[in-house]
Structure 1
Amino acid sequence: MMRRIPPSQRREELIAAAIRVIARSGVAAATTRAIVTEAQMPLGAFHYIFENHDELMSAVVEAVTEQERFVAETRSVDATSVQAALLSGLNGYIDLLAAEPERELALLELGLFARRQDADGQMRTQWESYFGTAAEVLQYAAELTRTRWTAPLPDLARLLVASLDGITLGWLADHDTAAARRTAAFVARALAVYADSPDAGGTTAVSRVAREPRPDDD
């Protein structure tokens, strides 16, 4: 007999089951039947919630990305500077990565599988969603600390995503959380160079560094 649970909860359970199956056995093994078996649901429950398998895979990407954004924006954030705020968010991501690595494994599996199927298809869409989320997080950090970005936000978002990809792969390889946090500190400091207070008279961190005298200056 099908358990009487709300559709929203059933949807969450199917997404969680899909993540476990993908992380454990890869995307190819994450058939609809394997996922409902993992979720301990009848096959009919799947079709009641999702139109097809692709819709569930998209829901997996959306759910994990949204949780990462939520963690970055809602954990206890140090708002004393944009660098501190970014580091708080990055450390929140690392906490989530260390606690639930299967989520990131699932996303990587999905992205690589999609790339092999279609070079201009779902992987592009997946990473575009990452870039969008990163831009939202950067904008939130700027608003929180009353600063503004002095470089194009889309470029900074791509830098943040590239850095997070590196942190993720490094941690999945060695599980060195302390090293991941050190890398996060470098990333926060590098991004903060492109933040400036509106009250600073238009003098950005980049221009200040550029004007500093060097030891060999006359």
Structure 2
Amino acid sequence: MNDQEEKVARKRVSADERRSRLLAASLRVMKREGIATATTRAICAEADMPHGAFHYCFHSKKDLYAALLASDIEIDLTPVWPEISPTASAEENIRTLLFAYWSQVESDPDAQLVLFDLGSFVLRDPELRELPKQGYEDSLDKAVGYISRLGEEADLVFVGGERTLAGLVVTTLNGITWSWLAHRDSAAARAGLAQFAELAAGLARRRTEHPAPPLPSAGRHETPSESRGRR
């Protein structure tokens, strides 16, 4: 391919695709050589892209770090959703999703190490230390999305709300992942996830049996005396 053909080919690559390729390349460099060696030039070389492509997709290394911390490192639950059913118990459905997530964590432990290392790395930098908080919020939003879909697919509602359960899910997964990275006992990790599924199922109710409460009326509120008069 000559220079002109190469330029045309690059133009056909969308900004999202370039960004995705650079994120994947940065993760490979960090897994192989560590965070400190992941320079913009090293990342672009790994992605087989010109150096200028980095600043086309990211404003700075801070922007890259934020994107990595917000990512699920290629975790994809799409294949498991057909297994979720309203005929199964809440515990079975939650366990199915957790185990599907966990199987992908186990398949690439180095990626999880990078995330933990990156979180510690940016916390030591005054200009970057807010990134883990944003990463946590992004993880929480994704967990809310998963739980919302679980409610739709399995006909469930959750006591305390979806975001409350999402916080428990994110905290539990982080804790079990960190422990597993230390002991690499997959059976213990899955046992912990199964126990959490049992506990989380206690917060689930069938939607048809427990419909959402009606929204408050937009009209005038009753006074205390009016309320007593209706009793």
For normalisation by structure 1, the TM-score amounts to: 0.79
Aligned positions of 1:17-166 closer than 5 A: 17-64=25-72, 67-68=74-75, 70-71=76-77, 73-75=78-80, 76-79=82-85, 80-118=88-126, 121-166=130-175
Q: Is the 8 A contact 2:70 2:136 kept in 1?
A: no
SS in 2 for 1:148: strand
Is residue 158–residue 203 contact of structure 2 (8 Å, CA) maintained in 1? yes
Q: Does 1:14 align with 2:22?
A: yes
Helix, strand or coil for the counterpart of 1:178?
Answer: helix
The structure that has the greater radius of gyration is: 2
Q: What whole-Å deviation, never above 9, does each CA across 1:49-86 have from its counterpart, x for those lacking one?
A: 33322222233234436x43x41x54243321222221
User: What is the Cα deviation at residue 107 of structure 1?
Assistant: 1.9
Offset at residue 120 of structure 1 (A): 5.8
Structure 1 residue matching 2:22: 3-state secondary structure: helix
- Residue 95 of structure 1 deviates from its aligned partner by 1.3
Greater CA deviation, 172-181 or 86-95? Answer: 172-181
Cα drift, residue 35 of structure 1: 1.4
**1:186: how far off?**
0.8
SS in 1 for 2:83: coil
Write the distance in 2 (CA, Å) between the matches of 1:37 and 1:184. 39
Alignment check: 8 A CA contact 2:70 2:134 kept: no
Alpha carbons 2:29, 2:38 under 8 Å: kept = yes
Structure 2 CA distance, aligned partners of 1:136 and 1:78? 15
CA distance in 1, matches of 2:144, 2:114: 23
Contact 1:19 1:102 in 2 (8 A): no
What whole-Å deviation, never above 9, does each CA across 1:107-163 have from its counterpart, x for those lacking one? 222222222224861111111111111122122212211121112332211111111
Maintained 8 Å contact 1:17/1:36:
yes
Residue identity matched to 1:104: Q
Distance 1:9 1:155, change over 3 A: closer
Give the whole-Å Cα distance in 2 for the aligned partners of 1:201 and 1:97: 34
Corresponding residue of 2:199: 190
Q: CA deviation at 1:26?
A: 3.4
Question: Does 1:169 pair with 2:178?
Answer: yes
Residues 82 and 141, structure 1, Cα contact 8 Å, conserved in 2: no
Point out where structure 1 has 5 or more consecutive residues left out of the alignment.
Answer: 203-218
Q: More helix by proportion, 1 or 2?
A: 1
Contact 2:122-2:129 at 8 Å conserved across structures: no
Contact 1:111–1:126 (CA under 8 A) maintained in structure 2: no
More displaced 10-residue stretch of structure 1: 156-165 or 92-101: 92-101
Point out the more displaced range, 159-168 or 103-112: 103-112
Number of aligned positions between the proteins: 199
Q: Distance in 1 between matches of 2:18 and 2:164?
A: 38
Q: Partners of 1:83 and 1:149 in 2: how far apart? A: 13
